[in-house]
Structure 1
Amino acid sequence: MEFVGDDTALLKKFAKQASGIVSKIKGVQQVALRFREGKDELRLDFDHEKASIAGISANEFGSTLKTSIQGSIPTKYIDDGKEVDIKVRFREEDRSQLSQIFEYLIPGKENSVYMASLVSQSEGESESKIYRKNKRKVVSITAKLGDLDLGTAVKVIRGELNQIQFPANYYYDFGGNFKKLKKNQIEMLLLVSLAFFLIYCILAALFESFSYPFIIIISIPFAIAGVIIALFLFNLSLNVSVYIGLVMLIGIVVNNAILLIEQFLRGINEKGSIRNRNELIEIIMHASIDRLRPILITTLTTVLGLLPTAFDMGEGSQLWRPLAITVVSGLTISTFLTLILVPLIFYRFFSWRNDLVH
């Protein structure tokens, strides 16, 4: 999390307050402050008016002070072809105490002036590092998640941090993995749409029809409805694992509808011609009964195989648990609705297309 504003001290206050709140959220294992406290410093405010009377410029003052304490290199000593820096500065005993700098003499036009007469001192605190975002100061904290997925964690944290009152132009934002998650969600939506389109194209080519694939694809919204219900019941958010599960689910759920439609068409071809709707109903009923057992068996084996993963609450389960819940819920709901609604939709569509009578 990044806290953005202009006053570093105020940003640190908000960050510490937020870290205390976030650390109490169930599923958050550890919260770390990603900043350091400032260091103590002695500030010297240069008096330009007094210095101008003595004929001392700010540049001369700073240069003299730097040479006295840190040292300067006026020349180099050449020894056997090697250059050695010659550093000039005060003796160690003349610069060991902070109070000694006020006794330093700064050379002026006519006389040297004590540094104490040219500056006013104050003690304060300065930042060792200043981080910025869009030219504004930033203070950040990080959290390590346990059995809580990133999307749900962000949702919970937003709700908890509503109790912090931020001044105008101060705000917090989620960075790092959350921004990557948002980007991945858009990419996964495109993949889901692409999978939807490719399945339709393949079915249209196999059935040599643009109509029957629509009936088959109707099973996909049934699966998505089941996923939404499961995510609500398990209090899960849409994340990359859910989208991967959706891509898998789209390829799995159409199999049941394909089995039914293929059996319906086979029965109609074997019959030769359908004179009325009663004959069509009889073909659909026999075909549905024939395909009921294999559909239930394939669905049960898939669902039962994923159930342990769906209810796993161990370390790292936030990665594969949403995927398993997505596939299990979507496949279960889709199977039962497909067995009921696909025959009804096929009956209505075929009767309307061939103008069958009762």
Structure 2
Amino acid sequence: KEGVVLGRVADFKRRIGPKAIERKDRKPIVIITAQYKEKGLRKIMEDIKAKMADFSLPAGYVWSLGEEFKRYERAEAESRFGLILAIILIYLIMASLFESYIHPLTIMLTIPFAFTGVAIVFFLADLPLDSLSRLGLLLLCGLVVNNAIVLIDYINRLRRSGMDKYDAIVKGGRDRLRPILMTSFTTIFGLLPMTLPLLIPVLYGPFEGREKIWAPVGLVVISGLFTSTILTLIIMPTIYSLIDDLGRWMKKLFAIA
């Protein structure tokens, strides 16, 4: 049998087209991918949705975000749950050790102090709070309470020895100032090299990659720990006194009732 030359029954034209026709649910699809550097995935999702809201597709065409975005949303929900669970567990552990519900609440206020510092630094640096940054928030929750534990526990021991509350607060702040600063700043300087790809990017230009991935984690811990340390030393004694007075007032109230 003689073959038929394809050129006799078809015309050939060179043009741009897909390498393969992909399908999902028996419908042809086109997948568009891109690499991003400056913006976080959350910001990109918002930009895409805003653009597509004003874009009218022909009849029969639809669009949707890909699996990468869906995985990101799942990871975001899981990290929020993990953060809430970590805060609850930290409180329960401290409540059992202090045998008090009031003093652990005082210590837990260092977490909002830390998150405030993280929010300010990331806003000023115009950095997205991505999944690795949220991992840094989890680490931060366990770190920032340590300074307040050292301070509050020492004040309580002074009061149990018979010292007046206000004298114990003053002495506790003075005696624990150096240990708290030493502990915090050794951690901060230890994590500083991790943030160098963000702080001094020119040094890491030729090696931009894995080094930059973990930089937001270090920046979260450093900014949060620095802020919480300063605020713990300045504000925490006052908060301790106010919450302690509130606890005594509530005990008297329930005793009268």
**Could you tell me the TM-score, scaled by structure 2's length?**
0.79
- CA contact 1:253–1:335 (8 Å) conserved in 2: yes
Distance 1:173 1:332 in 2: 42
After TM superposition, give the deviation of residue 96 of structure 1 in Å.
2.5
Aligned to 1:167: 57
Provide closer, same or farther for how the CA distance between residues 342 and 128 of structure 1 changes in structure 2, counting only shifts above 3 A.
closer
After TM superposition, give the deviation of residue 122 of structure 1 in Å.
9.1
Aligned to 2:5: 96
The correspondence for 2:235, drawn from 341, 350, 357, is 341
Provide closer, same or farther for how the CA distance between residues 193 and 352 of structure 1 changes in structure 2, counting only shifts above 3 A.
closer
Distance 1:269 1:97 in 2: 98
User: Larger Cα Rg: Structure 1 or Structure 2?
Assistant: 1
- Which structure is higher in helix share? 2
Higher relative contact order (CA 8 A, sep 6+): 2
User: 2:129 is paired with a residue of what secondary structure?
Assistant: coil
Calculate percent identity across the aligned residue pairs: 34
Unaligned runs of 5+ in 1: 1-89, 102-120, 273-278
The correspondence for 1:219, drawn from 92, 100, 110, is 110
Distance 2:223 2:167 in 1: 31
Give the alignment of 1:1-358 within 5 angstroms. 90-92=1-3, 95-96=4-5, 98-99=7-8, 129-133=20-24, 136-145=27-36, 147-148=37-38, 150-151=40-41, 154=44, 158=48, 165-167=55-57, 172-271=63-162, 279-312=164-197, 313=201, 314=204, 315-316=208-209, 317-354=211-248
- CA contact 2:91–2:104 (8 Å) conserved in 1: yes
- Which structure is higher in strand share? 1
More deviation in 211-220 or 343-352? Answer: 343-352
Structure 1 residues 22-41: Cα deviation after superposition (integer angstroms, max 9, x where no partner) = xxxxxxxxxxxxxxxxxxxx
- CA contact 2:195–2:219 (8 Å) conserved in 1: yes
Count of equivalent residues: 237
Unaligned runs of 5+ in 2: 250-257
**Could you tell me the TM-score, scaled by structure 1's length?**
0.58
Letter matched to residue 96 of structure 1: V
Letter matched to residue 219 of structure 2: I
After TM superposition, give the deviation of residue 319 of structure 1 in Å.
1.6
- CA contact 1:149–1:318 (8 Å) conserved in 2: no
Distance 2:35 2:19 in 1: 26
After TM superposition, give the deviation of residue 167 of structure 1 in Å.
3.0
Letter matched to residue 57 of structure 2: P
Letter matched to residue 135 of structure 2: I
**Coordinate RMSD, CA, aligned:** 3.1
Aligned to 1:276: none
